[in-house]
Amino acid sequence: MNEWVGSAATIDEAIAEGLKELGATRDEVEIEVLEVPKKRLLGLARSDAKVKLTRKHKAQETNTPPRNRDGKAWIKDGKLGYEPPEEGGNPPRLIIDKRITVRYGGELVQNSVQLTDGLNGLDIILPENMEPVVHIEVSVDKDGLTAHFHWQQIQGIEYRLGEQPPANVIQLRLEQTVLQPKPLTVDDVAVAVQSEGISYGLNLEGLNQEMLSQPKGSVVVAQGQPPIPPKDATVDYVFQKRNQVDLDALRIDYYEAYGISSVEEGAILAVKIPPEPGTPGTDVFGRKIPVGKPKDLQIKCGKGANLSRDGTTATAATSGLPLLRGNIIEVLPVLELKSDADISTGNITFDGAIVIRGSVLENVKVESLSGTVHVGGLVSGAVIRSYGSIVVQRNVVASELQAGGLSIVQMKIAGILHNIRDYLVKLERAFHSVAKHSESISEALLLRHLVDLKFSAMLKSIEELGDLFGEVSYQLSPELHEIVARLMVNFNPQGTRANLSLDAITRLSQMIAEQEEVLSAEAENEADIRARYLQNSRLEAAGSVIIEGQGAYYSTVIAGKGFHMERGLFRGGSITVNQGNIILKELGGPTGVATNATIVTNGRLKCQTVHSNVIISIAQQRYRFDEPAMDVHAYLVDGSLVVHGSGIKLVGD
């Protein structure tokens, strides 16, 4: 037996079976693979391998090498070559890269294909080449003054078949070549920029080929001319200038620091700095950028001050103390006392500024009807009232100071009215809440019960308003008279009351809100009080109260606009600010002395150290400190009190 044809699961198994049948070794036979085993999904055999074994002739074994009849394929210069098989030989087989698409005979093939029909019907599809490009963009800032050129190089890719030598089985292997884009030139940049309409302020001198060869970048290519804005006219109030002083120094010339000295007739009080027109600009598109016209203003002079013909200079028409009322310059006559104000001088009342070089001592009253009061020494056991500000260079002990005249009263009344209005709003809410469950009780009776049971604090505020109103009623408006009368009729804390109604309460709330605005507008005299130290005293100011030293003890402070004591402690007593900020270093004391700080309407409280038993309040929302806290901040958020201390939120949402 010289020839055997058979099948098995694999080619090796088929060859082994054939050698056994022929009784020959592998070197003694020629092996021809007739069929390659094919597999279906999951690796299960679909057909066996089939081989043909032919015993070699002895002469052939020794002299003639076996002839290869199989076909061949190869890849050269990216192209597929083909040589058909001889009779009895196998066609070439192609192993396919997954990234290559191959169709043979109109059908999509995967993994491998045998070229049984040669190259006829063979279609090899490579991935699409990517051309190298350079993305460019020209951007202009919103103001039109700066243009940028941006670029980014994107590499290209060229695909081809990898080289393969001639063989019966070859691999279609994909090779790729990275293509670099053509570098930009300065001319390319110029064309791109100018095509966007950019014509002004071009500057391409900083560009060079090395820079443009970078993979990406951005560079300013044009810069417009920014406009120069106009300068509005301003007024330099020369008399308000103060020298810089060291508040920690042992000895300070407060007269010099706070400018309490008078001016002589003819002294320059203010100088107008005229407006200056602006200069239009040009954007990178060559368009003009317009500028507005400067605002002009005039120096306004009141009594005691003269304005030059050209309107640029204000001078003193008389010797006295210069001051600014709103934006009107005035020079008030000055009453100057070079000694102490004591029993030898008696009480002092003057329609103008008062300067006391010494101290104001026990039982003396000093009142300025239209100006300010400056005290070079201390104030002890005395009373000082002024229309304008009060400055005390040393301490205030067991005394009463009022700065602001009628504005103080208006400020106090506005604060009390604000609290009463809040109570009235809460009373309405309480009525509607209780009325749902008490339908048998009349409106008037239910309101009366609510006032007596839950709103005693409102009755106290109304009583306080009545007392204050009685002192200055002749100076107040008819509308305010009507509000006080209605409050007394409906909520008389001491006597009988009229029957209450919701309509009356609503109308009162509206009237109070309107009057609050009127009082705030009228209380325009922001007179301040400034002192070094405070003890057992009462200070009231339409503006702010400033304590520049290191202590304020057991005193009452009422201010319209704020309280400032950045360097000292306030211990015992109370601070009340109508609207504004309370800023101080320390509040209360280690022994828990009762101390209150209140902001009537709105503002912020800031304090480095707050001791226990201190109560702070903003818009009638209170918080009591049961233990010390550091770096305390208190303010309103959406009408609710928020308090931070020692780095944590103590109260508030």
Q: CB under 8 Å to 652, separation ≥6 — which residues? A: 637, 640, 641, 642, 643
More confident residue, 574 or 456: 574
Q: CB under 8 Å to 504, separation ≥6 — which residues? A: 486, 490
192 within a domain of the structure (yes/no):
yes
Same-domain pairing of 98 and 138? yes
Domain that holds residue 313: 234-282+295-332
Residue 257 is which amino acid? A
More confident residue, 578 or 490: 578
617 within a domain of the structure (yes/no):
yes
Question: Does residue 558 have a pLDDT over 60?
Answer: yes
Same-domain pairing of 139 and 201? yes
Give 473-478 contacts, CB < 8 A, sequence gap 24+: 475/406, 475/409, 476/409, 476/413, 477/515, 477/518
377 within a domain of the structure (yes/no):
yes
Same-domain pairing of 313 and 445? no
Q: CB under 8 Å to 156, separation ≥6 — which residues? A: 129, 130, 131, 132, 133, 178, 179, 180, 181
Domain boundary among 522, 542, 559: 522
Place of tokens 């001016």: 263
pLDDT in the model for residue 381: 96
Same-domain pairing of 29 and 93? no
Mean pLDDT across 167-196: 91
Same-domain pairing of 194 and 106? yes
Q: How far apart (Å, rounded) are the C-alpha atoms in residues 462 and 648?
A: 38
Mean pLDDT across 550-559: 94
Same-domain pairing of 547 and 626? yes
Could you report the per-residue pLDDT of 235-290, keeping only the tens digit for each? Answer: 999 887 754 444 344 333 333 333 345 678 899 999 999 999 999 999 999 999 99
pLDDT in the model for residue 653: 55
For the record, the structure tokens of 538 come out as: 């009462």
288 within a domain of the structure (yes/no):
no
State how many domains the chain has.
Answer: 5
287 within a domain of the structure (yes/no):
no
Same-domain pairing of 95 and 210? yes
Domain boundary among 505, 522, 539: 522
Same-domain pairing of 211 and 88? yes
More confident residue, 277 or 430: 277
Place of tokens 């070094």: 532
Question: Phi and psi at residue 335, in whole multiples of 5°?
Answer: -100, 115
Question: Does residue 51 have a pLDDT over 60?
Answer: yes
Domain boundary among 187, 203, 224: 224
Same-domain pairing of 108 and 130? yes
Question: Does residue 226 have a pLDDT over 50?
Answer: yes
Question: Does residue 502 have a pLDDT over 50?
Answer: yes
Could you report the per-residue pLDDT of 123-178, keeping only the tens digit for each? Answer: 999 999 999 999 999 999 999 999 999 999 999 999 999 999 999 999 999 999 99
414 within a domain of the structure (yes/no):
yes
Same-domain pairing of 111 and 201? yes
229 within a domain of the structure (yes/no):
no
Residue 227 near residue 278 (C-beta atoms within 8 A): yes
Same-domain pairing of 602 and 571? yes
pLDDT in the model for residue 255: 32
Look at 114-118, 128-132, 467-471, 642-646 and tell me which has the smallest mean pLDDT: 467-471
289 within a domain of the structure (yes/no):
no
User: CB count, 10 Å around CB of 173?
Assistant: 16
More confident residue, 387 or 557: 557
Predicted structure pTM score:
0.49
At 589, the pLDDT band (50, 70, 90 cuts) reads: very high
Mean pLDDT for the chain?
86
Could you report the per-residue pLDDT of 639-650, keeping only the tens digit for each? Answer: 899 999 887 888
Q: How far apart (Å, rounded) are the C-alpha atoms in residues 521 and 523?
A: 6
Same-domain pairing of 196 and 305? no
CA-based nearest residue to 431, from 417, 412, 446? 446
Q: How far apart (Å, rounded) are the C-alpha atoms in residues 563 and 544?
A: 6
pLDDT in the model for residue 243: 45
Report the range out of 208-212, 326-330, 366-370, 381-385 with the highest average pLDDT.
Answer: 381-385
Mean pLDDT across 543-552: 92
